[in-house]
A = this chain, B = another copy of it.
Amino acid sequence: MLERIRIVLIGTSHPGNIGGTARAMHNMGLADLALVAPRCEPISADTVSRASGADHIVHAARQVATLEEAVADCTLVVGASARSRTLPWPMTTPRELAESLPAELADERARVALVFGREDSGLSNSELQRCHAHVNIPANPDFSSLNLATAVQVLAYECRLVWLAQQVGDTDDTPEAAAPTPHALANHQELERYFAHLERTLVAIGFHDPATPRQLMARLRRFTLRARPERMELNILRGILTATEQRTRCPKTDE
């Protein structure tokens, strides 16, 4: 289970936090780290010092330019965030999230990404809207921003406790095998392709004007991601969009 949990850091400014994240991950038995457009040199003296022996995780980390690339193969993408401002999104707690992982990862192909934003500004709205859910670490409302590596530690700790609980009295080494196999969920890339197709179609039928979005796509994202679409369902939805597009070459008829 732990090997299919990916920690994704976006736009990290301080190499020390990357090192601290690697240490927290290795302490808790996680190893899959992805760095999205870091705003610092990931490997530095601070990295090695804060990693304190776990810098192999930083060396093995995948460095990419966009969140898309970091989570393309993930079936569940959860963003660390304060309670959402503009548009409320499904919120979970670190414990609820961890307790959902055995089922989420029951399918061998399943991958979970835990996404952490910039030290100064966190995750952007567009990044938050690419997540199935947001996880919020309960904190002092007057001082709620945790250090990046410390926030990773709290989530990784909850994941490890759930994993440990699974090991107890487990005969074979694959505790996930016990859990029921879920549907073949669409992955992030398939979902993003659908949203792009949906937006094109909504523009084509004159329902959506990107110039005045009024959060339309955000609301449709939230609705769709909440349903956790299966690959087959997404194929049906895209078929509907394609059939709709074939109608859009004639003038709009108002009655």
- What residues make up the interface of A, taking CB atoms closer than 8 Å to B? 20, 23-24, 26-29, 50, 52-54, 88, 91, 95, 137-141, 143-147, 149-150, 153-154, 157, 160-161, 164, 174-176, 180, 202, 205-207, 216, 219-220, 223-224, 226-230, 232-233, 236-237, 239-240, 243-244, 246-255
Contact B250 A236 (CB under 8 A): no
Contact A228 B226 (CB under 8 A): yes
In the complex, 13 of the A-B residue pairs with CB atoms within 8 angstroms, ordered by the A residue number, are: A27-B140, A50-B147, A91-B180, A138-B160, A138-B164, A139-B160, A154-B154, A154-B157, A219-B233, A220-B233, A220-B236, A244-B244, A247-B248
Hey, which chain B residues are within 8 Å of A24, CB to CB? 146-147, 150
**Copy number in this complex?**
2
Task: Tell me the complex Cα distance, A254–B27, Å.
Answer: 57
CB distance from A124 to the nearest CB of B (A): 21
Contact B149 A161 (CB under 8 A): no
Task: Tell me the complex Cα distance, A191–B205, Å.
Answer: 23
Hey, which chain B residues are within 8 Å of A53, CB to CB? 143
Task: Tell me the complex Cα distance, A233–B137, Å.
Answer: 28
Known: A161-B138, A247-B250. A147 touches B23 (CB 8 A): yes
Hey, which chain B residues are within 8 Å of A146, CB to CB? 23-24, 27, 153
